[in-house]
Amino acid sequence: MKDSELKALISLLDDDDPSVEMNVRNKLIELGQEVLPELEAAWESQEDEHIQERIEEIIHSIQSRDTILDLREWRMAGGGNLLNGWILVSKYQFPELDFEPYRNQINRLVNRIWLEMRSSMTLPERLKVISKMLFTKERFRPNRKAVSEPGNFFLNTLLETKKGSPLSLGMLYLVLCEELQLPMQGMILPSYFVITYQDEKQEFFLDPFNKGNFFTRKDLEKYLEEVSKPFNDKFDRPSSKIFIILTLVQRLIDGYKKRKRDDKAGELEKLLDYIDPDSKFP
């Protein structure tokens, strides 16, 4: 589309006829990323706040549509990389943010941890190296005063503030394990998240919300008893990476609802329904 035609189309956003405005909106969204510079220029030159809001909504719709499609593609491909899924959810909230520096930050952490590991170390010893790096040297810590705060769950805010929820701290821990090729998995629990290793010979659990301390199955059963949840198959197996990401979105929805941000919660509910409408969360 020529610049003159695009400018003419954008100018119709102030049309009094709702059907005209809707048709223009849909056409601009259909055109996608290529119209963003012109929309941003129109926003800056626009004095009418109502028209600015319309332009903002269209920009957001274009940016979020591409992220939604990428996230659905990630899910349909089997959710092979947890970090990629996490970045997409975070990008949905921060569409203009460059996430490459955060990838680099993760890579630096992985390299520092790898340098401290020895080939003779057992798996628990390797995990202690990760815990020491995260919770002692880097000083990542739980945000106990505001566990459900949505900012706790996004990759960028976690890496910036170094404060997170059980889920986000656990996801960071799991991402590091994945990058280091350690056979750990995550387990979604009611309002909590733990790391686990299970095979025919041994089983242990790790709590990323408590400095990476190890605990036993009895401790796990005690926790479930305290939150009035029976220990059954639902909580006796690791969660897939796809389910972890879907739970991340659900935790964000819950957090926004607690803060009366029904607009944000509604957006994420649509996102969740688009990715996987049949998911059930503990």
Place of tokens 């190296």: 129
pLDDT range class, residue 202, cuts 50, 70, 90: confident
The number of folded domains in the chain is 2
Residue 276 has what pLDDT? Answer: 77
Return the higher-pLDDT residue of 189 and 4.
189
106 shares a domain with 72 = no
Return the higher-pLDDT residue of 131 and 277.
131
Residue 278 has what pLDDT? Answer: 67
pLDDT at 29 over 80: no
146 shares a domain with 223 = yes
- Please provide the average confidence, as pLDDT, over all residues in the chain: 87
pLDDT at 120 over 90: yes
pLDDT at 200 over 90: no
Range of the domain at 51: 3-76
Residue 231 has what pLDDT? Answer: 52
281 found inside a domain:
no
pLDDT range class, residue 22, cuts 50, 70, 90: confident
Helices within 215-261 (DSSP H only): 217-226, 241-258
The H-or-E segment that residue 267 falls in is: helix 262-275
110 shares a domain with 45 = no
C-alpha dihedral sign at 177, 178, 184, 189? positive
End-to-end CA distance of the chain: 48
Return the higher-pLDDT residue of 26 and 111.
111
163 shares a domain with 30 = no
Residue 21 has what pLDDT? Answer: 77
173 found inside a domain:
yes
pLDDT in tens, 54-105: 888 888 778 778 888 888 889 888 888 999 999 999 998 888 889 999 999 9
Characterize the bridge pairing of strands 192-198 and 203-207.
antiparallel
* Distance from C-alpha of 32 to C-alpha of 28, rounded to nearest angstrom: 7
Residue 84 has what pLDDT? Answer: 95
pLDDT in tens, 245-274: 999 999 999 999 999 999 889 889 888 888
- Alpha carbons within 13 A on the beta-carbon side of 142: 16
pLDDT in tens, 174-190: 999 999 999 999 999 88
Q: What is the CA radius of gyration of the chain?
A: 22
61 found inside a domain:
yes
22 shares a domain with 159 = no
pLDDT at 140 over 90: yes
138 shares a domain with 70 = no
- Alpha carbons within 13 A on the beta-carbon side of 230: 2
- Which residue, 28, 61, 76, sits at the end of a domain? 76
pTM tops 0.85, yes or no = no
